[in-house]
Chain A
Amino acid sequence: MALYKVKTFIGIFTIDDNKKVISFSPFPKDPILVASRLKDEVDEAPEEIENFLKENLLRYALEYKFVKNQAEFNQFLTEVNSEIAKQKIKEIVSRDVLIIHTNNAIEELDKSINIFIERLREWYSLHFPEMDKVIEDHKTFAKLIEKFGNRKDIDDKRLNQFKEKSMGIDFTQEDIETVKALATTIIKLYELRERFSNYLSKLLKEIAPNFSVIAGDVVAAKLIAKAGGLERLARMPSSTIQLLGAEKALFRFLKSKEKFKSPKFGLIYNHPLIKSAPKDKQGKIARLLSSKLSIAARIDYYSKEYKADKMKKELEERVKEVLVAKK
């Protein structure tokens, strides 16, 4: 007669061929301990016996007084599985999620900075309207306000000529301090953006070295974020990568084929190779680029071997050929 040891979440059963339980050694009633014990391998018992035990586990748990009633049995089962899930979460959450958060935070910062800078320009223009046209760069605009505050104190060779005859109203000290506080915040946001973007470059180098070299940091991060991670990107066909970010146009085309043209590129349009190419060649270059990108994503996800320089050279040569070729 053969004896089998079968592990369940309440403990280990020794059971024979005739489904007779010979002995039972219960687990301690601690979900964390049980979850880790369940991970150890044991010899497989025949499926029939395992299923028999599973189906009758409640009965045995009551018989051996492991639990008082079914509700307690269910509660313990729930807690053990909750613990298993927690440990599994730790294993499957990978670092590429950091890329997604950083990328999205940068996009949100850009939006916020734009909104605030628009407000700052309108606001400060009450006091010094001439400055709005002269200082086009947003960061410089905010910095000048932070540094000097009142227009009379501004010392900048582009602005000095307007100071005296400005048509702006006078601001009190409090007015100035308030608008300055906004300018300071905007500069802080710029600094934060800079910090995030440096961090993003580092992350990309670590997690997607090949992909980020071929795509460029900005496009690489956006593509990974849109795909929902490096693994998903690695599993995508290159045609999907080509159109990531152009879903609206793609589905519009798929729904009514006659009226619309299919989109040729999505987020990868921001890649310099496509952006700088003549219009009639962009579609072809988008195909070349996305196929190289999909290879790079796969190398990054599965092997991490660095081949990007060679791949980038190949790609650039192919693009050159396309650019000189007549239609």
Chain B
Amino acid sequence: MVKIEKTKFYGIFKVDGNLATVNLVPGEKVYGEELIKEKNVEYRYWDYWRSKPAAAIKNGLKILPLEKGMNILYLGIANGTTASHFSDIIGKEGLIYGVEISERPFRELLPLVEKRGNIVPILSNARKPEDYEDQILGKVDLVYEDVATEDQVEILIRNCEKFLKSEGFAIIAIKSQSIDVTRPPKEVYDECLQKLEKHFEILDKVKLDPYEKFHLFVVMKSKK
């Protein structure tokens, strides 16, 4: 008998103690995760070693603004491991615009998006929102950023100014080692948070150790 519990987050469950979402495309695995079927609902385990929001929930995140039908701008979607769970949660009425600069992970992402039908793949540099503004229809409810670059905070702010609804949400996974390896992570985080606070109200933040080293996961709400 499989034990299924609700969590405080919409669309996220605990199945035998593992985080899981309801598979949007039953029978399809995305990255080799386990599928569990119970009472005609198929759950996909959400591996917190491979996906940062799952690690954040594991480490006690209190707020994760994901809901059915949401429109999300996802910067740094890579091969869609994390995005596939977002896609489960928001359902067929929601949309994820996934921006990625490197063409390599697109080989795995493209078959995935065609099956799911709610992820729009955009092969572009997130530093240049002008390049993909034509592909994004209207404003989004959430901007999620996971790009490991020195200017990741600036990239998030620029994209939010262009694409985020007023009082919309933003989530960033700050990687201190990409911003400055020579300084202690705490110093780097504080500096990033200061920059972010000018534009956002910080709702929650949590470190991702030991699942991702030197990462801070921050959930915010736009002040505009």
Collect the chain B residues with CB atoms within 8 Å of residue A79's CB.
Answer: 114, 117
- Given A54-B138, A55-B137, A254-B182, also A77-B103 (CB < 8 A): no
How far apart sit A82 and B95, CA to CA, in the bound complex (Å)?
Answer: 14
Contact with A along B91-135 (1 / 0, CB 8 A): 011110000000100100010011011111111000000000001
The answer to whether B137 touches A85 (Cβ under 8 A) is no
Q: B148 near A: Cβ within 8 Å?
A: no
How far apart sit A253 and B198, CA to CA, in the bound complex (Å)?
Answer: 35
Q: A255 near B: Cβ within 8 Å?
A: yes
How far apart sit A167 and B12, CA to CA, in the bound complex (Å)?
Answer: 71
Interface of A is mostly: helix
How far apart sit A77 and B118, CA to CA, in the bound complex (Å)?
Answer: 8
Contact with B along A65-84 (1 / 0, CB 8 A): 00000110011011101101
How far apart sit A75 and B93, CA to CA, in the bound complex (Å)?
Answer: 10
The answer to whether A81 touches B92 (Cβ under 8 A) is no
Collect the chain A residues with CB atoms within 8 Å of residue B116's CB.
Answer: 78
Interface-centre pick from A78, A84, A92 (highest chain B CB count, 10 A): A78
How far apart sit A36 and B120, CA to CA, in the bound complex (Å)?
Answer: 17
Q: Would you give the shortest CB distance from A47 to chain B, in whole angstroms?
A: 10
How far apart sit A93 and B102, CA to CA, in the bound complex (Å)?
Answer: 10
Collect the chain B residues with CB atoms within 8 Å of residue A259's CB.
Answer: none
The answer to whether A71 touches B114 (Cβ under 8 A) is no
The answer to whether A255 touches B123 (Cβ under 8 A) is no
Q: Interface size class for chain B? A: 20 to 34
Q: Would you give the shortest CB distance from B135 to chain A, in whole angstroms?
A: 6
How far apart sit A282 and B64, CA to CA, in the bound complex (Å)?
Answer: 55
Interface-centre pick from A79, A85, A93 (highest chain B CB count, 10 A): A85
The answer to whether B92 touches A78 (Cβ under 8 A) is no
Collect the chain A residues with CB atoms within 8 Å of residue B136's CB.
Answer: 54
Q: Would you give the shortest CB distance from B24 to chain A, in whole angstroms?
A: 11
Q: B181 near A: Cβ within 8 Å?
A: yes
- Given A70-B93, A85-B123, also A57-B181 (CB < 8 A): no
- Given A74-B93, A254-B181, also A81-B117 (CB < 8 A): no
B103: which of A58, A82, A89 is its contact (CB, 8 Å)?
Answer: A89
How far apart sit A54 and B95, CA to CA, in the bound complex (Å)?
Answer: 14
A74: which of B118, B123, B182 is its contact (CB, 8 Å)?
Answer: B118
- Given A81-B135, A82-B113, A251-B181, also A74-B106 (CB < 8 A): no
How far apart sit A247 and B123, CA to CA, in the bound complex (Å)?
Answer: 29
A71: which of B93, B110, B122, B138 is its contact (CB, 8 Å)?
Answer: B93
How far apart sit A240 and B64, CA to CA, in the bound complex (Å)?
Answer: 40
Q: Would you give the shortest CB distance from B102 to chain A, in whole angstroms?
A: 10
How far apart sit A58 and B138, CA to CA, in the bound complex (Å)?
Answer: 11
Collect the chain B residues with CB atoms within 8 Å of residue A55's CB.
Answer: 137-139
Collect the chain A residues with CB atoms within 8 Å of residue B122's CB.
Answer: 81, 85
The answer to whether B92 touches A71 (Cβ under 8 A) is yes
How far apart sit A85 and B94, CA to CA, in the bound complex (Å)?
Answer: 21
Q: Would you give the shortest CB distance from A186 to chain B, in whole angstroms?
A: 33
Collect the chain B residues with CB atoms within 8 Å of residue A78's CB.
Answer: 113-114, 116-121
The answer to whether B93 touches A85 (Cβ under 8 A) is no
Hey, which bits of chain B sit against chain A, CB under 8 A?
92-95, 103, 106, 110, 113-114, 116-123, 135-139, 181-182
For the A-B complex with A77-B95, A78-B121, A85-B123 known, give 15 more contacts whose Cβ atoms are closer than 8 Å. A54-B137, A54-B138, A70-B92, A77-B120, A78-B114, A78-B116, A81-B113, A81-B121, A81-B122, A82-B113, A85-B106, A85-B110, A92-B123, A254-B182, A255-B181
13 A–B contacts, CB within 8 A, in A order? A54-B136, A55-B138, A74-B92, A74-B95, A77-B95, A78-B117, A78-B120, A82-B121, A85-B106, A85-B110, A86-B110, A92-B103, A254-B181
